[in-house]
Copies of this chain bind each other. A is one copy, B any other.
Amino acid sequence: MAKILTSKNGTKKEVIIQKAALLFKSKSYTAASMRELAETLGVEAPSLYNHIGSKSELLQAICFKIGNKFSVQIEMIENSSTTIIAKIEAIIRFHIHTMLENFDEVYVANHEWKHLQEPFLTDFLNIRRNYEKTLVNLVEAGIEQNEIKKTNPYVAVLTILSAVRGLEFWQRNKKNVSQQVLEDDMVNHLLNGITA
């Protein structure tokens, strides 16, 4: 049978991970089988083990790639010198960009992290907790400096993160609304509301 196409997508392992993300997204991690994954690569299941260690390693690779991407970015934004509102806006826009560019992997990291094994599960949750904490601190600082209304910072962060995460469901409407409108309108909604 044919070999795994490597093309310009990086090493064979990376190609497998990418296909795994697509499959895990559409069928969920547990329901997706290694035989199915192999089929999308034009190969028998045992052949995959020449390139990867295990099924759960694939999930780990996906989750930590995305987790680290967000961690790195929020640190950069945190240390930049602008207003707090501008920082929050930058974070929202980063979420939207990353979501639309790495759709499958972000989706899987958001939905399937539950199936990570220890100690990876704990590590992943810590990354997320740190991310959220950074954001909460930012909102708190914004309130102190009168850039942001008095509001519960945990609720505000939950609202923002949940809203951007909802882009998972965007696909269907992609045709009708440009990414720029999507981005601008969502930023504006989350910062300034929709009441006329």
Q: Residues on A close to B: CB < 8 A?
A: 27-28, 30-31, 85, 111, 114-115, 139, 146-149, 151-152, 154-156, 158-159, 161-167, 169-170, 173, 176-177, 181-182, 185-186, 188-196
> Cβ of B159 and Cβ of A186 under 8 Å apart?
yes
* Chain B, Cβ-Cβ closest to A178: B152
A143 to B188, CA, bound (A): 15
A165 to B158, CA, bound (A): 10
List, sorted by A's number, 28 A–B pairs whose CB atoms are closer than 8 Å. Answer: A27-B114, A28-B28, A28-B114, A28-B115, A30-B30, A85-B195, A139-B194, A149-B195, A151-B185, A152-B177, A154-B177, A155-B181, A155-B189, A156-B194, A158-B163, A158-B166, A158-B170, A159-B189, A162-B162, A162-B163, A162-B164, A165-B166, A190-B193, A191-B194, A191-B195, A192-B192, A192-B193, A192-B195
Contacts of A186 in B (CB 8 A): 155, 158-159
Of the candidates A85, A111, A155, A191, the one having the most CB atoms from chain B within 10 angstroms of its own CB is A155
> Cβ of A152 and Cβ of B185 under 8 Å apart?
yes
A116 to B196, CA, bound (A): 41
A120 to chain B, nearest CB (A): 16
A84 to chain B, nearest CB (A): 10
